[in-house]
Amino acid sequence: MKVTIDEIARFIKEGWPQPEPDWFIDDTGDAWPTYLDEDHAYTPRVPGTIVTLEDFECDLCYQGSPTEEINTDKKSFVKLFKKWKKSLTVTLLAVEIPNEKCEEFRQAVKALGGKLLN
């Protein structure tokens, strides 16, 4: 499934299992450090980059709070992402348009009730 790296970053901020500090990523692949800056809250290195979601598959593991025992519950990053994306009431798009059409595009998006994220 093709998605923008921005969607993955947004999922990490908005769709992460709660309570957020109690979950961690286990065994990420090469896609994570290639496309996301892990030192800066998983922000996209190059916004708008189209990636394959399945390249980000890893387990999200529940570690609990410091007073709880570590639980071995694991969730699939890809499955949680897809569930989160399906729950959205907006669609995130990456588009490419000619420079001279940029203002016209901005106005059209605004007229449709949308907003530009970058």
Domain ranges of the chain: 2-88
Query: For the chain, where are the E strands, in sequence order?
Result: 2-4, 23-26, 36-37, 43-44, 50-52, 59-62, 74-76
Could you tell me the pTM of the whole model?
Answer: 0.80
Q: How far apart are CA 94 and CA 42, in angstroms?
A: 19
Whether 51 and 2 have beta carbons less than 8 Å apart is answered as yes
Q: Is the pLDDT of residue 25 over 70?
A: yes
Q: How many CB atoms lie within 10 A of CB 44?
A: 19
* pLDDT top residue among 22 and 85: 85
Angstrom distances, CA of residue 19 to CA of 22, 42, 74? 6, 18, 14
* pLDDT top residue among 98 and 39: 98
Segment 45-59, tens digit of pLDDT: 998 899 999 999 998
